[in-house]
Structure 1
Amino acid sequence: MRALSVSEPWGIDQIAVIEAPDPAPGPGEVLVRMRAVSLNYRDLLMVQGMYARGPAMGGPITPFSDGCGVVEAVGEGVTRVTVGDRVATLFFQRWISGPPTLAGLVSALGFPIPGAGSELQTFSEQGVSKVPAFLSDQQVATLPCAALTAWRGLFEDARLQPGDTVVLQGTGGVSIFGLQFAHAAGFRTVVTSSSDDKLARAKALGADHLVNYRTTPAWSGPVREATGGVGADFIMEVGGGGTIQESMKAVRIGGHIAIIGVVAGAGEAFNPASLIGNSAKLQGLSVGSRDMFEAMCRAIELHRIGPVVDKVYPFTQAKAAFAAMAGGEHFGKIVLEF
């Protein structure tokens, strides 16, 4: 079989397509023939040698946590799936239910467990899940990280009601899923972006308010205006230190800010005293459990939510796909096909 591999000195140019022996499933494992994988910002950090839990501790690695494939063989004792089932890989292979634990959080695909970036791969039967039949393979491959992160932030961690205001920063995978889920749930949505073209596409997906943060860097002002001065109930914070100050200005008293990314860099130092002033909740968020994933899939099927796949490449062109992600060219998700 062919597989993607990356190792020191790290970087997009170090991604290679290698020949490797076909794996075989052991007891409790399934062998999956992969059809598609999707890119996450974590994958970019990993191949660049900037992901603390991965390359810094050695290599080479098989990247990608998010994939769609078909079960080709099962090991002894497998009961969750059968040969021929189409499944998604789960980001955390051992986080089945309940709150996050250390054991669950160290079971992420890509590192420390070899990822889905190969034509054939074995996974624990507990680490795959059946998926809605109406979705394409490309769409299924976008669900395990970006979709589930948005889902958990909106419906597991926050206590939102229809009519509440949700701010989605940018138009990457998590934020676009957040927009789609929020729209289906009856939330008022505010989308920020540096591109008017991308904002227009967000409007077509149901965004209620649009803010170009390049022309309006103090985007908390329009958020306050849209909410009658009250502020947003929920903010999907993907920028990190580079945007957290504006998020604190935009959130309402007692509101919820979900910290899921650091794409805007370090930014200014954050003063935690500002949290005291408005009783806001600032919560780190790292994907979710299998139970959360399956609840999300039921909602996707009920509302016929179609994940937005913006760019598709053959898996042998992974370098081009990562370059597109690094350049911020995408709206929604980037996918590799096998």
Structure 2
Amino acid sequence: MTASKHSTMKRWTVTRPGAQHLTLETVPVPTPGEHEVLVRIGAVSLNYRDLGVIEGDDGAAMPFPCTPGSDFSGSVVAIGGRVTRFRDGDDVLGTFWAGWLDGDWPSTARVLGGSLPGVLAQYVVLHEDWLVHAPRTLDAARASTLPCAGLTAWFALVEMGHVHAGQTVLMQGTGGVALFGVQIARAHGAQVIVTTGSEEKRRAVLDLGASYVIDRNAHPQWELLAREYSNGRGVDHIFELAGGENLAASLRALRQGGRISLIGVLGEQTMTFPSVPSFLTRPVIQGIGVGHRRALEDLVRAVDATGLTPVIDARYAFEQLPQALAHLKRGAFGKLVIEVR
């Protein structure tokens, strides 16, 4: 085992529910156990669920005080005596689900920055099974966006959806998952439709590779245009990110036997749709809860092979976490990243 050059580190802690209770504290650098790795954090990518953890309404039963954050990239600076998967100096990513290595989701899997302590710190100690090698082609900030947003899109489209050339995929909105979905679908030769209410975002998502963009405000019945853009056939795969009655519109846009991935609930917490059209459409409706370690390793290889570049809206210094969270509340085009120095 090698040791960190520092004996203390900075770590963000929320002492009780509410962003106003975030404090930047100085604590000892942790020491890895036999199967553990000490990682110097390079960057942390924020997710909307981090706001729920901080506000105490995420449903994760987080004990306070706690450290939020789940997605990071960093470098190995010390390893336990029985670690076999990594060496000092390796660049790594954390897995969103600690303990979900492959196959079906195990009930014992836990979430960093959820039921496990988070990663908004200069150093973290993690079990070696909870890490993967980082892509060679991305800097730390862009790499940190892969474990949740990137893997969610990959798991829906590739691992479960088997996306391929000739298909039409529709993304709702322009958040991190949707923008990863645009790039992954295009890399596999699929046509992509995006719905948004912003003219500025419309231009940006076209530059990213989308074939069509539907203005939700000008076309509240967006599903009609979606069918038109798919030559009347219907969309093969839809990322359902709105919730509520929007699921009914997704169903109407879908081709027979098409797939809807339930990924988020930006609106209502429940989703409803008419039963008879669903019988006739014969949809595959799948819930997506990020993905397992093996799929993240597949995504990393794909990133290096294709040159996929994650979209970052803004980068913040480690001390600027409160400002980054305020930006997250307002909404972003792509991801917000905390760079840890």
Q: Same fold (TM over 0.5)?
A: yes
Number of equivalenced pairs = 332
What's the CA shift for 1:36?
A: 0.5
Instruction: Could you tell me which runs of 5 or more consecutive residues in structure 2 were left unpaired when the two chains were aligned.
Output: 1-8
Preserved CA contact (<8 Å) 1:67 1:89 = yes
Q: In 2 relative to 1, CA 273–101 (structure 1 residues): closer, same or farther, beyond 3 Å?
A: farther
1:146-185 aligned at under 5 Å gives the runs: 146-185=149-188
Alpha-carbon spacing, 1:231–1:22, altered in 2? closer, same or farther (3 Å)? same
What is the CA distance between 1:78 and its match in structure 2? 0.3
In 2: Cα distance, 1:2 partner to 1:158 partner: 41
Task: Give the root-mean-square deviation of aligned CA atoms.
Answer: 1.4
Which of 105, 121, 127 aligns to 1:100? It is 105
**1:217 and 2:220 matched:** yes
2:309 paired residue among 306, 310, 324:
306
Whole-angstrom CA distance in 2 between matches of 1:304 and 1:165: 22
Task: Identify if the C-alpha distance between structure 1 residues 157 and 31 changes in structure 2 by more than 3 Å, giving closer, same or farther.
Answer: same
Aligned mates of 2:187, 2:128 — CA distance in 1: 31
Contact 1:235 1:247 in 2 (8 A): yes
Distance 1:215 1:52 in 2: 36
Partner of 1:118: 121
Q: How far apart in 1 are the matches of 2:271 and 2:158? A: 30
1:4 and 2:12 matched: yes
1:60 offset after TM fit, Å?
2.1
Deviation at 1:183, TM superposition (A): 0.7
Query: Residue 168 of structure 1 contacts residue 191 of structure 1 at CA under 8 Å; is this kept in 2?
Result: yes
- CA distance in 1 between counterparts of 2:104 and 2:271 reads 31
Deviates more, 1:267-276 or 1:94-103: 267-276
Which residue does the alignment assign to 1:22?
Answer: 29
Q: AA paired with 1:89?
A: G
Task: Give the match for residue 33 of structure 1.
Answer: 40
Percentage of matched positions with identical amino acids: 37
Letter of the structure 2 residue corresponding to residue 63 of structure 1: P
1:242–1:266 contact (8 Å) kept in structure 2: no
1:265 is displaced (CA, Å) by 2.5
Q: Does 2:69 align with 1:67?
A: no
**Deviation string, structure 1 residues 28-58 (Cα, Å, up to 9, x no partner):** 0000010110011111222122211234xx3
TM-score in terms of structure 2 length: 0.94
| SS of match in other structure, 1:110 | coil
Counterpart-to-counterpart distance in 2, 1:11 and 1:45: 9
CA contact (8 A) 2:92 2:133 kept: yes
Shift of residue 242, structure 1, vs aligned partner: 5.3
TM-score (norm 1): 0.95
User: Any conservation in 1 of the 2:245–2:273 contact (CA below 8 Å)?
Assistant: no
Give, in angstroms, the shift of residue 229 of structure 1. Answer: 1.9
Q: Secondary structure at the match of 1:240?
A: coil
Structure 1 residue aligned with 2:4: none
| Cα pair 2:152 2:288 within 8 Å, conserved | yes
Given candidates 197, 200, 203, the residue that maps to 1:197 is 200
Q: Confirm or deny that 1:81 pairs with 2:86.
A: yes
